[in-house]
Homo-oligomer: A and B are copies of this chain.
Amino acid sequence: MSTATRSTDPTPAHEHLDPIARSGAHDGPALTTALRAHLDGPFGSVRDRCRALDPATFGPPSSPLPTDEHRARVTAQLAALARESYAASGFPEHQGGTARYGEAVAAFEMLGHTDLSLFVKAGVQWGLFGGAVSLLGTSRHDHLLPRIASGELQGCFAMTETGHGSDVQSLLTTATFDPSTDEIVVHSPEPAARKDYIGNAARDGRLAAVFAQLVVDGESRGVHCVLVPIRHDDGTPSEGVTIEDCGPKLGLGGVDNGRLTFDHVRVPSTNLLGRYGDIRDDGTYSSPIDNPGRRFFTMLGTLVRGRISVAGGAGAAARSALAITTTYAGSRRQFAAPGTGVETTVLDYRTYQRRLLPRIATAYALQLAQHELVTAMDDVLAGRATSEQDQRKLETRAAGIKVLTTRHATDTIQECRELCGGAGYLWVNRLAALKADTDIFTTFEGDNTVLLQLVAKSLLAEYQSTFGDLDTAGIVRFGARLVGGTVIERSSARGIIQRLVDAAPGREEDVVFGIRGTQLRLLREREQHLVEGLARRLRRATAPGADAFAVFNATQDHLVDTAMAHVERVVAETFAASVESCTDDEARTVLARVCDLYVLSTIERHKAWYLEHDRLSPARAKALTALVNEVCAELRAHAQTLVDAFGIPAGLLTTEMSGTA
């Protein structure tokens, strides 16, 4: 059987794809409802409450507004949300909240369908600023949270500096304890230390959570967070604080990004958010975590909710773009088919299907992966998953999903703009703002390339803890363990996935793309091979005389590929498990085909790798492309149903586009 992968049959006739029972022209509302319920996941009722938000109040403005007006509108929107106790679910009960963290993130995700400036502004106020006070502060800060939740106290999350964005550990701002007055002196020692791009800083923020190098008794204790008032009640800057406006941006015009420079600003030492490092009454430093590196990463780790929320908003924006474009493409006609005189609906063209449908499939995959991620986050924040390993896994997963979803959003909205032609360029048709507003999502809350390196390093750490110093033979022998160990962590899904993979033909047999277990096996094999190769290459960095930077730098592209392979595999397995769990027969059949498209188009994108590594024969690689085309054509009939199931309120999707006028 070892030559079976050399089958020369390029046709997909034996791919074992079960036909979808009926074509999409007859999709009924029951299918849309069932798909929507599945996509809505565990927090459907919260989503429905958000769907009821008044589009006139919370939607994007009907025309682009001057900066001041847009900022004022968003500030008013935030206040309106606060009046509905929108933020309470994100905080624990002893801080005045309801501790329903998953609901909070799901509700926040729904803001991704409103004006994205509101999404970001709310994220800064409640997620980042409120999150820092809630999760890094101590009981002495709890009294602030109700005022933060109500919007009475508006704040900033002042982490990034002009000179340091990705490398937070090297921030230059200092926070020096002065025992003589029991104060902390916050200072920007050089221009590069200026806090930059800070949301809420240019207009509304009163208090800033400032990340700075804490110095106690002459000793630097690493990055900590200190609350610093930046404005008086009348809006003028506080003593020693210089506030600049970042000015116009590509998008997010309603967010008042600004810059903060501190000139020996004194605050009470109790303003230190001291949960992971505090100053005792005797003026000495204490921390529950001795190792400064571990302390730093623990502090940052608590802020994982921001990344998860950005992924949620990016996914929502991409779904808006896909819904707008699919609706347009189903009615827009251009060029008569030869001999008929009847113009062809653009969605019937293969090039159009190829550009649109795999992105709809990806939107499904990422939405379902987001549920899994939010549920895991809920478990950690609510104290149901408490180990350091739970926290680390959550961080790795959040980083990976953030990268995949924000990349998907940027690429998809761009493609949608182009698929809608000139109409897509007009502001009134929404895609322009979606594109401009979300463009920065690949950068903020962690630059995507840097995040992929974090993901890869965590995979390597897991790999090393599994294999230690095993040689290559040992690694091969224990390969199965690795695959078992890196399967998605949630036990229910792991069982389902393992059964699917076990039921698939082995690697020695001909690849049949229609078998789910085979699809997943291909993704697993790629990830495993990349991790192993990376571990081997990096081992060289520890050899005597090796230039560690050169070795590390040379593997950067490998590292990034490895991380992507990991995230893509995790998302695919989550999707596959989710399909199995769908209780509506008709919806499950359609979901299964959408899952096929996601997984197969992912494998197709990495076709060169599979060919280079002899995991696919040239004939099977060609058959894969033919099959992706076929699945696109089949799902074309269901395209409108698939985007209707996103459940985006019609009032937030209003455009002037239609097929002809």
Does A443 reach chain B (CB closer than 8 Å)?
Answer: yes
Decide if A240 is an interface residue (CB 8 Å cutoff): no
Q: Is A556 in contact with B425, judged by CB distance below 8 angstroms?
A: no
Interface string of A191-207 (1 = CB under 8 A from B): 11010110000000000
A460 interface hit (Cβ, 8 Å): no
B427/A660 in contact, CB under 8 A: no
A59 CB within 8 Å of chain B: no
Interface centre among A166, A250, A418 (most CB of B within 10 A): A250
A264 within 8 A of B: no
Q: With A192-B661, A418-B443, A618-B613 in contact, do A166 and B425 touch (Cβ < 8 Å)? A: no
Known contacts A334-B164, A422-B160, A426-B249; A618 and B614 CB within 8 A of each other? yes
A564 → B minimal CB distance (Å):
12
Q: With A421-B447, A613-B618 given, is the CB distance from A661 to B334 under 8 Å? A: no
**B427–A163 CB distance below 8 A:** no
Question: Of B164, B166, B337, B425, which contacts A250 at CB under 8 A?
Answer: B425
Q: In whole Å, how far is A529's beta carbon from the nearest beta carbon of chain B? A: 13
Q: Which single member of B66, B334, B354, B560 contacts A167 (CB below 8 Å)?
A: B334
Give the distance in Å from the alpha carbon of A251 to the alpha carbon of B410 in the complex: 17
Whether the Cβ atoms of B612 and A427 lie closer than 8 Å is no
A500 within 8 A of B: no
A440 within 8 A of B: yes
| Complexed CA–CA distance, A341 and B337 (Å) | 66
Give the Cβ gap from A293 to chain B, nearest Cβ, in Å. 13
| Interface locus among A272-280, A343-351, A362-370, A486-494 | A343-351
Query: Which of B196, B338, B612 makes the CB contact (< 8 A) with A621?
Result: B612
Determine if B164 and A338 form an interchain contact, defined as CB atoms under 8 angstroms apart: no
Q: Tell me whether A611 is interfacial, beta carbon within 8 Å.
A: yes
Cβ–Cβ < 8 Å partners of A458 in chain B = none
**Closest B residue, CB atoms, query A410:** B414
A428: chain B residues at CB < 8 Å are 247-248
Inter-chain CA distance A590–B479, complex, in Å, is 46
Pick from B166, B414, B439: contact of A334, CB below 8 A. Answer: B166
Q: Does A436 contact B (CB under 8 A)?
A: yes
Q: How far, in whole Å, are A660 and B348 apart by their CA atoms in the complex?
A: 51
What's the minimum C-beta distance from A233 to chain B, rounded to whole angstroms? Answer: 29
A164: chain B residues at CB < 8 Å are 334
Q: What is the CA–CA distance of A552 and B557 in the complex, to the nearest angstrom?
A: 39
Residue in B closest to A424 when the chains form the complex, CB atoms: B443
A629 to chain B, nearest CB (A): 7
Q: How far is the CB of A422 from chain B (nearest CB, A)?
A: 4
Q: Distance in Å from the Cβ of A110 to the closest Cβ of chain B?
A: 24
**Residues A350 and B557 in contact, CB atoms below 8 Å apart:** yes
B549 pairs with A344, CB closer than 8 A? yes
Q: Which of A424, A426, A659 has the most CB of B within 10 A?
A: A426
Residues in B whose Cβ lies below 8 Å from that of A442: 418
A431 to chain B, nearest CB (A): 8
Alpha-carbon distance between A560 and B170 when the two chains are bound, in angstroms: 48
Please indicate the chain B residues that have their CB under 8 angstroms from the CB of A337 in the complex.
Answer: 548-549
A285 within 8 A of B: no
For residue A476, CB closer than 8 A to chain B, the reply is: no
A170 to B335, CA, bound (A): 8
CB of A553 closer than 8 Å to a CB of B: yes
B197 touches A351 (CB 8 A): no
**A253 to B, closest residue via Cβ:** B64
Q: Are A426 and B612 closer than 8 Å at their CB atoms?
A: no
A448 and B418 CA atoms in complex are apart in Å by 9
Known: A248-B64, A425-B443, A608-B611. A553 touches B349 (CB 8 A): yes
A165 within 8 A of B: yes
A100 at the interface (CB under 8 A from B): no
**Which of B66, B335, B343, B554 contacts A66 (CB under 8 A)?**
B66
Choose from B351, B447, B613, B622 the contact partner of A612 (Cβ within 8 Å). Answer: B622
Q: Give chain A interface residues in 152-189, CB to chain B under 8 Å.
A: 160, 162-167, 170
Whether, in the assembled complex, A496 has its beta carbon less than 8 Å from a beta carbon of chain B, the answer is: no
A447 to B422 Cα, complex, angstroms: 9
A435 at the interface (CB under 8 A from B): yes
Partner of A422 from B440, B607, B661 at Cβ < 8 Å = B440
Judge whether A31 is part of the interface by a CB distance below 8 angstroms.
no
Interface status of A417 (Cβ within 8 A of chain B): yes
How far apart sit A418 and B438, CA to CA, in the bound complex (Å)?
Answer: 12
State whether the Cβ of A465 lies closer than 8 Å to any Cβ in chain B: no
> In the complex, what residue of chain B is closest to A420 when comparing beta carbons?
B443
Contact between chains at B560 and A192 (CB < 8 Å): no
Cβ contacts under 8 Å, A607 to chain B: 608, 612
Q: Is A246 interfacial (CB-CB < 8 Å)?
A: yes
Q: Which residues on the B side are within 8 Å of A170 (C-beta)?
A: 335-336, 343
- In the complex, are the beta carbons of A449 and B247 less than 8 A apart? no
Tell me whether A350 and B553 are in contact in the complex, defined as CB-CB below 8 angstroms, given that A247-B427, A612-B621 are known contacts: yes
CA of A554 to CA of B626 in the docked complex: distance in angstroms?
Answer: 10
What is the distance, in angstroms, from A640's C-beta to the closest C-beta of chain B?
20
Q: Which 4 A/B pairs are nearest by Cβ-Cβ distance? A: A250-B432, A191-B661, A611-B611, A248-B427
23 contacting pairs across A/B (C-beta < 8 A): A63-B248, A160-B422, A162-B661, A163-B661, A166-B334, A170-B335, A190-B661, A249-B426, A249-B427, A250-B427, A337-B548, A338-B552, A339-B548, A351-B449, A414-B439, A421-B443, A422-B443, A424-B443, A425-B443, A554-B629, A607-B612, A611-B621, A612-B618
